[in-house]
């Protein structure tokens, strides 16, 4: 019950045989940060900054954003915080941003595409994040990157903003880490090329599943097809982890799969360095990991990779977890 799980909040996520994975929280506000810390978050793997924009009635300016980021960093006790730049469009709207109706909003004008089109607004956010980096271990992460050009443009905009701040005598962390989400299949497929240029990856399975399986993540009529145990998803994750590690880069996961205790044995075996999830999932995932051995997770993964449907994989994993008494 809850009291058993409570013991796991303050502990690291370590397997029986001593293999450790970092546990982060997905948050949007300072209140979320405080709760995440209570639940045992070791950092923030995903700060969804669009929640800050959605709560405002006009574009939040640099000082306003800086104050919010600084509050969150301080609430997190100076643990690492990955700030994701504005991920608007798709299912998320802003009252003060008129986007003409689109036939396919999830394939349209959203996230990094919108930001690169409105560089003045994007620059404000990057300056605020950079200035926040003077107060803690901040990292910058771009959403929805689908090609190298987008990554390079966004990355060089960070350098431009650093130059501005330097010229103004503003402080920021010169060595701030800049990474990207892997949530578009093209980025997963080209992970090796991206890995040469980024500081880190974080796999966003919510969108990666949607785009890889061509299943709208909001449409209940097709949600029986939406499954992160699909062998194509496991193959992409494995490829991304290998690409990152081959270039000496770390790779986390911040989509819903990271917070699924049933996925934990596969994610450990696949080699994810960090799992970031909603705060409510942290103790359950830490508990599940505490009952696993890396060696047996690797055997399970090898078996699973021989299977060809999500249903077969799910059944195999459930059998394994039942034997470990993890439900
Ligand atoms: C994801 O796509 O997996 C993700 C973490 O981002 P969001 O859910 O905000 O799209
Ligand atoms: Mg996403």
Does the C-beta of 254 come closer than 6 Å to ligand 1? yes
Does the C-beta of 48 come closer than 6 Å to ligand 1? yes
Distance between CA atoms of residues 292 and 316, nearest Å: 15
pLDDT at 3: 64
Distance of CA 211 from the midpoint of ligand 1 (Å):
12
Distance of CA 51 from the midpoint of ligand 1 (Å):
13
**Would you say the pTM of this structure is higher than 0.95?**
yes
Q: 115, 147, 254, 297: which one is catalytic?
A: 254
Pocket test for ligand 1, best of 255, 272, 274 (most atoms within 8 A of CB): 255
pLDDT at 92: 86
Nearest protein CA to atom 4 of ligand 1, as residue: 204
Which among 116, 98, 201, 184 is positioned nearest to 152, based on CA atoms? 116
Alpha helices of 76-147 — where are they, by DSSP H? 111-117, 119-132
Q: Is 115 a catalytic residue?
A: no
Return all residues near 107 (Cβ < 8 A) that are at least 6 apart: none
Around Cβ 170, how many Cβ atoms within 10 Å?
14
**Kind of pairing, strands 200-203 and 250-253?**
parallel
Distance of CA 25 from the midpoint of ligand 1 (Å):
13
Q: ipTM of this predicted complex? A: 0.99
Cross-strand bridge partners of residue 24:
276
Q: Give 137: exposed, middle or buried? Use CB within 10 Å, 0-12, 13-18, 19+.
A: middle
Tell me if 127 is assigned to a ligand binding site. no
pLDDT at 134: 98
**Average pLDDT, consecutive stretches of 10 residues, N- to C-terminus, the chain (327 residues):** 72 96 98 97 98 95 98 96 95 89 94 98 98 98 98 98 98 98 98 98 98 96 98 98 98 98 98 98 97 97 98 98 84
310 membership: H or E segment, kind and range: helix 310-324
Return all residues near 219 (Cβ < 8 A) that are at least 6 apart: none
Pocket test for ligand 1, best of 88, 183, 240 (most atoms within 8 A of CB): 183
User: Residues 26, 64: contact at Cβ < 8 Å?
Assistant: no
Tokens of 32: 């979320």
Tell me if 84 is assigned to a ligand binding site. yes
Does the C-beta of 50 come closer than 6 Å to ligand 1? no
Distance between CA atoms of residues 87 and 112, nearest Å: 7
Return all residues near 270 (Cβ < 8 A) that are at least 6 apart: 234, 237, 238, 241, 301
**Span 138-154, pLDDT tens digits:** 999 999 999 999 999 99
Distance of CA 174 from the midpoint of ligand 2 (Å):
28
Distance between CA atoms of residues 303 and 316, nearest Å: 8
User: Residues 106, 210: contact at Cβ < 8 Å?
Assistant: yes
Does the C-beta of 278 come closer than 6 Å to ligand 1? no
Does the C-beta of 255 come closer than 6 Å to ligand 1? yes
User: Residues 198, 250: contact at Cβ < 8 Å?
Assistant: no
pLDDT at 91: 78
CA of 46, closest atom in ligand 1: 5
Distance of CA 129 from the midpoint of ligand 2 (Å):
20
Distance between CA atoms of residues 284 and 37, nearest Å: 15
pLDDT at 2: 61
Least distant ligand from the CA of 208: 1
């Amino acid at each position: 019950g809850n009291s058993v799980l409570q013991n796991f909040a303050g502990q690291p996520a370590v397997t029986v045989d001593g293999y450790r994975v970092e546990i982060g929280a997905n948050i949007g506000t300072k209140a979320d940060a405080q709760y995440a810390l209570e639940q045992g978050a070791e950092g923030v793997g995903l700060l969804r900054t669009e929640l800050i924009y959605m709560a405002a009635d006009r574009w939040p300016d640099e000082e306003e954003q800086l104050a919010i980021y600084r509050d969150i960093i301080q609430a997190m006790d100076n643990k690492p915080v990955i700030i994701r730049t504005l991920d608007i469009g798709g299912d998320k709207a802003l009252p003060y941003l008129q986007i003409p109706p689109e036939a396919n909003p999830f394939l349209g004008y959203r996230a990094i595409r919108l930001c690169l089109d409105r560089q003045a607004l994007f620059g404000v956010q990057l300056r605020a994040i950079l200035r926040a980096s003077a107060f803690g271990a901040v990292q910058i992460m771009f959403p929805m990157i689908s090609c190298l050009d987008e990554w390079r443009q966004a990355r060089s905009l960070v350098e431009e903003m650093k130059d501005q701040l330097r010229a103004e005598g503003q402080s920021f962390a010169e060595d701030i880490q800049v990474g990207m989400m892997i949530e578009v299949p093209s980025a997963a497929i080209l992970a090796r090329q991206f890995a040469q240029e980024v500081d880190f990856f974080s796999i966003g399975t919510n969108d990666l599943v949607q785009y890889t399986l061509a299943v709208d993540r909001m449409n209940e009529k097709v949600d029986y097809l939406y499954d992160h145990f699909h062998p194509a998803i496991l193959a992409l994750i494995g490829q991304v982890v290998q690409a990152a590690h081959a270039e000496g880069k770390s790779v986390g996961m911040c989509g819903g799969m990271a917070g699924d205790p049933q996925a934990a044995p596969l994610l450990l075996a696949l080699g994810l360095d960090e799992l970031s999830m909603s705060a409510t999932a942290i103790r359950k995932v830490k508990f599940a990991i505490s009952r696993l051995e890396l060696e047996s997770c690797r055997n399970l993964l090898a078996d699973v990779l021989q299977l060809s449907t999500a249903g077969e994989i799910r059944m195999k994993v459930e059998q394994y977890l039942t034997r470990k008494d993890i439900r």
